[in-house]
């Protein structure tokens, strides 16, 4: 008899397993190639469905999950549970799923079932109808707990289109109706997951060319790993913003990088098609370490600081402490202020520095649009006649003397002002590394002082905010990063003050 165990709103049901099947493969020579059949029965599938408070994995939460572990022939284990989303369920969601606030009030919270879900899915391929939806919600729940959930996965929508062609709709309800699959408790996790089990079994029966195994999505396809690195190390990398360090055999740092998704960025170093330098780096890697930052701004600031301090061998371009391109200002004979992209050296004082000529040109084009500057005067087009923007009313004619230098120069001065840090003294807040924390960046007298982290409950007292700051070096790269960030910062994330703070 199978043994059932119940705990509150959670049901875990184990099925008696027969002796494990030995992997039996049938090799058939056809069309000049050997084809392999029979491997499907050696793979475990975690067929699942979730219900949620909405459709956004970043802002909504899971309210129910059902997982059926399948060995390729039958269900061998199952896990079903309501989940307390720790927020109200919108009425329209309750009408759709039948799950309301009273039903989840005493249900376990996600962290209370997280270990069970890991165990149920470990070593299995996750299968779901519209898998990206379910997978993204589960990954986000784990991300909020500081854990990276990574599994191979299959989408039965995509597989059905390939193996069961000709249907008008591939939604679970419509497809099951056409195929004669009964769904009990539609829009509940267990009902939809069991229907997906039956659908998947039909797909297995119709898979004559190994399409199911070919369709498995994972992070390691098309990758070539360094010969001296343990893949289990890569599984532990977080899918969160931060800075990562690639080490050689003696632990020295070869490369420092940053990303909004550390794991994804590290894996990108191992793609098959790479140049000589990338291959040299890949073959030298023996270890990977990382620092989570909570948001991209802190990752950018930390990366810049670390590269300039550590001078890693493979960060040649970013090791510089000055930039070779920027935007400079000059005055024409007619008295017009002229902004233009230019190559600069360490002794120059450009209005702004840029990492490349393309970046300088792009920034100047943005200034032209925002402040209605003349693209001819800005050196973007080398022409003798009026610029094209004048013909369409986006330039007031400074290029042909129709606008006075005084009027034009006022807008140029506004553009120049926008390139500077708008406030000399401020704290800039962002997302922290964990729930209940926020990042804090400090700029004083226009100079970057450093960053740190504080509890969200920390008030606006300047001394309290100052106390969490770790002092770091300022440079042109940092100024460029902060300037670009401030262009997209909401007022609520900025604390401006007048009095100078003292660091001891």
Report the percentage of the chain scoring pLDDT > 70. Answer: 87
pLDDT of residue 318: 66
Identified catalytic residue from 70, 129, 187, 442: 187
Express each pLDDT in 110-134 by its tens digit. Answer: 999 999 999 999 989 999 999 999 9
pLDDT above 50: residue 358 = yes
Secondary structure class of 19 (helix, strand, coil): coil
Q: Which of 467, 470, 471, 438 has the alpha carbon at shortest distance from 454? A: 438
d(CA 320, CA 355): 10
pLDDT of residue 424: 82
* Radius of gyration, CA atoms only, the chain: 29
The residue with greater pLDDT, 211 or 306, is: 306
Q: Where are the domains of the chain?
A: 4-214, 231-318, 325-419, 426-496
Residue 138 CA: distances (Å) to CA of 13, 58, 418: 21, 11, 42
pLDDT of residue 441: 97
pLDDT of residue 47: 98
Residue 131 CB contacts under 8 Å (≥ 6 apart), including other chains: 153, 154, 155, 156, 157, 217
User: Beta partners for 49?
Assistant: 66
Q: Is 456 left (phi over 0), alpha (psi -120 to 50) or beta?
A: alpha
Give one DSSP letter per residue of 320-348, joined into a string. -SS-SEEEEEEE-TTS-EEEEEEE--TT-
Strands 62-70 and 45-52: antiparallel
Express each pLDDT in 241-253 by its tens digit. Answer: 999 999 999 999 9
- The confidence band for 503, taking pLDDT boundaries of 50, 70 and 90, is low
**CATH number for the domain whose boundaries are 231-318:** 3.40.1440.10
Q: List, edge to edge, every strand of the sheet that includes 426-431.
A: 469-471, 447-455, 437-444, 426-431, 494-496
- Based on the residue annotation, tell me whether 222 is a catalytic residue of this protein: no
pLDDT of residue 154: 94
d(CA 374, CA 270): 45
The pTM score is: 0.56
Secondary structure class of 405 (helix, strand, coil): helix
Element (H, E) at 120: helix 110-121
Secondary structure class of 304 (helix, strand, coil): helix
Q: Does domain 4-214 have CATH number 3.30.420.10?
A: yes
pLDDT of residue 23: 39
d(CA 156, CA 46): 12
Q: Which of 158, 184, 181, 152 has the alpha carbon at shortest distance from 170? A: 158
């Amino acid at each position: 008899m199978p043994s059932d165990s119940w705990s509150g709103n959670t049901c875990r049901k184990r099925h008696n397993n027969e002796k494990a099947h030995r992997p039996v493969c049938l090799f058939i020579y056809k069309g000049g190639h050997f084809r392999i059949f029979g491997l499907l029965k050696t793979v475990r599938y975690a067929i699942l469905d979730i219900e949620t408070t909405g459709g956004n994995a970043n802002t909504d939460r899971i309210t129910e999950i059902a997982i059926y572990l399948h060995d390729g022939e039958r269900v061998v284990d199952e896990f079903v549970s309501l989940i307390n989303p720790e927020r109200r369920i919108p009425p329209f969601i309750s009408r759709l799923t039948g799950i309301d606030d009273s039903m989840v009030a005493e249900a376990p919270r996600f962290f209370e079932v997280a270990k069970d879900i890991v165990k149920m899915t470990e070593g299995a391929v996750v299968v779901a109808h519209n898998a990206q939806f379910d997978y993204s919600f589960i990954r986000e729940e784990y991300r909020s707990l500081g854990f990276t959930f990574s599994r191979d996965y299959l989408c039965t929508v995509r597989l059905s289109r390939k193996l069961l062609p000709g249907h008008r709709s591939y939604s679970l309800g419509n497809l099951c109706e056409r195929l004669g699959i009964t769904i009990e408790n539609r829009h509940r996790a267990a009902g939809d997951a069991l229907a997906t089990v039956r659908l998947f079994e039909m797909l297995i029966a119709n898979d004559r060319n190994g399409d199911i195994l070919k369709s498995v999505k994972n992070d390691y396809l098309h990758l070539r790993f360094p010969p001296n690195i343990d893949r289990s190390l890569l599984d532990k990398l977080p899918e969160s913003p931060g800075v990562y360090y690639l080490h050689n055999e003696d632990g020295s740092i070869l490369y420092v990088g940053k990303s909004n998704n550390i794991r994804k960025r590290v894996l990108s170093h191992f793609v098959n098609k790479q140049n000589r330098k990338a291959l040299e780096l890949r073959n030298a890697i023996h270890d990977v370490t990382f620092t989570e930052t909570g948001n991209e701004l802190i990752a950018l600031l930390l990366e810049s600081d670390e590269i300039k301090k550590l001078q890693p061998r493979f960060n040649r371009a970013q090791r510089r402490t000055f930039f070779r391109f920027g935007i400079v200002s000059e005055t024409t004979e007619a008295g017009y202020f002229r902004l233009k992209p230019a190559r600069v050296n360490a002794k120059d004082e450009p209005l702004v520095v840029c990492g490349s000529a393309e970046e300088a040109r792009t920034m100047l084009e943005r200034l032209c649009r925002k402040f209605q500057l003349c693209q001819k005067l800005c050196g973007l087009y080398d022409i003798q006649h009026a610029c094209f923007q004048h013909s369409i009313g986006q330039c007031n004619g400074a290029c042909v003397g129709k606008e006075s230098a005084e009027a034009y120069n006022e807008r140029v001065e506004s553009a120049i002002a926008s390139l500077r840090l708008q406030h000399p003294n401020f704290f800039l807040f962002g997302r922290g590394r964990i729930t209940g924390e926020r990042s804090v960046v400090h700029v004083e007298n226009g100079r970057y002082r450093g960053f740190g982290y504080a509890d969200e409950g920390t008030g606006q007292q300047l001394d309290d905010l100052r106390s969490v700051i770790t002092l770091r070096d300022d440079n042109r790269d940092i100024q460029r990063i902060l300037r670009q960030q401030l262009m997209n910062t909401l007022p609520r994330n900025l604390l401006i003050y007048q009095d100078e703070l003292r660091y001891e």
